[in-house]
Structure formats: C-alpha cells, structure tokens
Amino acid sequence: MLTGGLPRRDIARRMECSPSTIVRLHQRYVQTGSLNDRPRPGRQRVTLDRQDRYIRVTHIHDRFQTASQTARTTIGINGRRISVSTVRRRLRSAGLKACRPFRGNMLTQRRRQNHMTLTRRHRRWLMRQWRRVLFTDKIPLPSP
C-alpha cells in the first residue's frame, strides 16, 4: 500500500492499528526484506520435540500415570531430570492432563469385600432403591 502511494494514516485506519506500527513495519521490511518477527532471546527448552512426544504418548497409553512419575523417568537436554511443572506444561499444550495421585484412605481388602458382597446380594435392585445406599469408608464406632 505504501508503494502504491497511500498515506500511512490511511493504511493504519484500514488495518485498524496506529500509524507508528505502519512505520515500524515499513522500516523492518526495508532492513530485512521481510515482515517476519525477529528471533528473540529466551531460555532454551529443556526437552526436545522427541521427548515431548514421548511424554504425550506415555500419558495417552497409561492415563493413571502421574506427572511426577514421568518427570522422574525423563532426562532433559542438559542431562538432568525435568521438573513436574514441565511435564504438566507439555501435556497442557497437547490438550491432556496428568493423573493426580489419590490422597486419602484407601479401601482395605475387608471393606472392599464387604462392598462386593453387598452389591452381589442386591444386584437386581432398582435405581430408586440404590439411591438410599451410602458407601463410606468410615469405621463405625463400637456400641457402648
């Protein structure tokens, strides 16, 4: 548009930006011959693309794997292990989430067995009957 003779203000109005942006873009085009953004300095990535794919694939195959387990087994570019937050960022960029480890009381074998016998005994119950059942892992207090 500039080579066509349009003023910078008119170009800025059409592009919905400020005239100074048009000036900077024109200067960049004159200096470099392109409008591409310059490479900026920044911290080097800790993982390669191949390692990022490995992280994604392992979490797709084993959806119960935690980010800390993956971080412990993955070695970064610098020969050191990567952080848990790096694994979470790589998964988030792929649209995935790591499994969060369960924190709480696990069912004991005896309680699990009791739950299973209850469900087998009442297998044919209707939904309205099941709505009244509350499964809990709390240990009942002994009767006085």
For the stretch 73-122, pLDDT in tens is 888 887 888 999 999 999 999 998 888 877 777 778 888 888 888 888 87
Q: Clarify whether residues 8 and 30 are in a common domain.
A: yes
**DSSP type of residue 39:** P
Q: Clarify whether residues 59 and 89 are in a common domain.
A: yes
Please tell me the total count of domains within the chain.
Answer: 2
Matching residue, tokens 């570019």:
77
Smallest CA-to-CA distance from 89 within 50, 62, 40, 52 is with 52
Q: Clarify whether residues 34 and 55 are in a common domain.
A: no
Q: Classify residue 12: in a domain, yes or no.
A: yes
pTM of the model as a whole: 0.47
Q: Clarify whether residues 86 and 57 are in a common domain.
A: yes
- Per the rule left: phi > 0, alpha: psi between -120 and 50, beta: everything else, 6 is beta
Q: Clarify whether residues 25 and 59 are in a common domain.
A: no
- Alpha-carbon span 9 to 2, nearest angstrom: 11
Q: Classify residue 62: in a domain, yes or no.
A: yes
Q: Classify residue 119: in a domain, yes or no.
A: no
Residue 61 or 131, more confident: 61
Owning domain of residue 18: 1-38
- Alpha-carbon span 47 to 97, nearest angstrom: 18
